[in-house]
Structure 1
Amino acid sequence: MNEWKKFKVGVAASSGFNEDCRRFDSVSHTSHVSAAINIIEAGEVRPSLVFDKSKLNEQRILVSWLSPNYWSTGFRYGNIRFDFSFNELIKNKKFYWVESIAYQVEACRILITDIDRNSQLDPYDPTSKNDPWWFDEANDQHYFNGKHCLEFMIEAPISLSHLKKLDFVDHHKNYCSVHRQNPTRCPEFGLNSSKGGAIFLTRAAVTGIDLSQLSTHFVIENGNPSCELELAFSEFAFKISRKVNFKGTLTEESESSIAVMRAIMSAFTFGLKEEAKLLCAMFQDEDNFNNVAAMVFANTVGYSKWQGLVRD
């Protein structure tokens, strides 16, 4: 019996879902803020070497990581989630079983590639229902066993042209994929989705990253800001303006207001909250501070109606 048979999917539910037979049509790559900024600058998720106990260490195969799993307890990989269309990524590809790794939740790994790896790995047939990933050809539907962690290792860059959704998730409160031995060293350790989103968007603003090409992920069809954008903005504005004694002269019309706001965002995104508050006090009042912050957030994501972020 192949190693992966013990992780096979269960029976698809007629309504709702069964944990061991969950539907999916997209897969995601979740990252910390700095890595997410790098992905957007590059326009793709770039493959890298595998550094854990994987057998691919010996092969020195470069892979990009994707998974259909959603971790309700938080993601050890960071706060920024890139969600991709699975069917687009696997078209005309070859599939190979790599291994299972005995983490706290056992991980099943499948390589997706253009390269013939038959001499190195066992070919994987997703149409077989006795496996952790099952493709029901008759109904054009993918399933996986949600009791385990399913990890797809893509032997190629993953272009953002396949992106379905960009959103924010909670960072795990106990684990971090970057700082495995000392997770508290991670500056984003344990942050909820809105805090992580605020750090990401302010980092993009101060480093000049143009997110307007991703505007459909931050603006919904009726022209209102998405929930992710609203919550990230509110998290930033509340955290910085709370208990600030506004006594300055800056208003939204001031020539230097945008420059000062970017300085505030720089201090905030790199964890210097008290410095950010000192700069915040340069504004005349909270309304002017919020309006300028909304302008910068909106410009960063290509949202034309910044007033929508500060409406009552």
Structure 2
Amino acid sequence: MEVRKYKNHAYRFMISDKDLSKLPVTPYAPTKEEGPLRQVGGVWYWNSEHTAEFLLDSSLILHFCKKIDFVKHHEKMCAAPGGCGQLGQDGTNAAGRVLAFLLSRDLRGLNDTLIVTDPKTELSTAAERGILKAYEDLSRNLGGPAKSNDDVDAALRAALLQLAAGEETHAQATAKLIRSDDLLCRRLAELVKRHFKLESTALKF
């Protein structure tokens, strides 16, 4: 464990299976109530009044990720130099951009992290938030020429990729090629179904 001299009080843990006895760090026992991180009966607890940092002395492989969620950003503080423009936001915008990217590029490696199985197998709340946000960002009284499935799907994927890149204005312009909001909704629902092999309840209006 290491104490960092930040403006906001912070504690930093290094997680490693190597011998760290020669490093200037203090071993930490989470089962003892002597610090900000505790483990009781297999459940972890932490002091949320301070900033927590965890350094992994190994590669962080997404394949081992169990769940993805989008949480609220701190109202005033950001770890990114200069800030990130997301202060105080609840994570919905981030969810929309992430889901837009995964769907536009047909990237399925994270599917399991966006699906829940209890009490039944369905898309997670995080996934549904992202899907609905992407739809809301693109559906703006559409009335373009694209009406065949192939043409709509091509425009939809392009718009989703632009949305993922943060180019919302360009994404909306691309989406305007689609004949109607209803057609956009139906093709996005089909894209989600093919991608996850599950239907989105967020798109059932």
Normalising by the smaller structure, the TM-score range is 0.7 to 0.9
More strand by share: 1
RMSD: 2.7
> Do 1:225 and 1:309's aligned partners in 2 also have CA atoms closer than 8 Å?
no
Match of 1:196 among 94, 102, 112: 94
* Aligned-partner Cα distance in 1 for 2:85–2:49: 30
> Do 2:104 and 2:160's aligned partners in 1 also have CA atoms closer than 8 Å?
yes
* Aligned-partner Cα distance in 2 for 1:141–1:286: 46
SS at match of 1:158: coil
In the TM superposition, what is the alpha-carbon distance from 1:219 to its structure 2 partner?
4.8
In structure 2, the CA distance between the partners of 1:102 and 1:304, relative to structure 1 (3 Å rule), is same
Alignment-derived partner of residue 206 in structure 1? 104
| Structure 1: segments with no counterpart, 5+ residues | 1-96
> Do 2:149 and 2:187's aligned partners in 1 also have CA atoms closer than 8 Å?
no
| Structure 2: segments with no counterpart, 5+ residues | none
> Do 2:71 and 2:91's aligned partners in 1 also have CA atoms closer than 8 Å?
yes
* Counterpart check, 1:272 vs 2:167: yes
Match of 1:259 among 146, 154, 158: 154
> Do 1:247 and 1:284's aligned partners in 2 also have CA atoms closer than 8 Å?
yes
Give the paired residue count.
203
- Give the alignment's TM-score, normalised by structure 2: 0.81
Match of 1:134 among 38, 53, 57: 38
* Aligned-partner Cα distance in 1 for 2:121–2:54: 35
In the TM superposition, what is the alpha-carbon distance from 1:267 to its structure 2 partner?
2.1
* Aligned-partner Cα distance in 1 for 2:113–2:25: 40
Higher relative contact order (CA 8 A, sep 6+): 1
> Do 1:230 and 1:309's aligned partners in 2 also have CA atoms closer than 8 Å?
yes
* Aligned-partner Cα distance in 1 for 2:13–2:113: 31
The letter for the 2-side match of 1:157 is S
> Do 1:198 and 1:236's aligned partners in 2 also have CA atoms closer than 8 Å?
yes
* Counterpart check, 1:124 vs 2:27: yes
SS at match of 1:130: coil
> Do 2:104 and 2:157's aligned partners in 1 also have CA atoms closer than 8 Å?
yes
Alignment-derived partner of residue 50 in structure 2? 148
Aligned pairs for 1:1-312 within 5 A: 97=1, 99-126=2-29, 127-136=31-40, 139-178=41-80, 180=81, 182-183=82-83, 186=84, 188=86, 191-211=89-109, 213-215=110-112, 217-221=114-118, 222-242=120-140, 244=141, 246-251=142-147, 253-300=148-195, 302-306=196-200, 308-312=201-205
- Give the alignment's TM-score, normalised by structure 1: 0.56
> Do 1:219 and 1:303's aligned partners in 2 also have CA atoms closer than 8 Å?
no
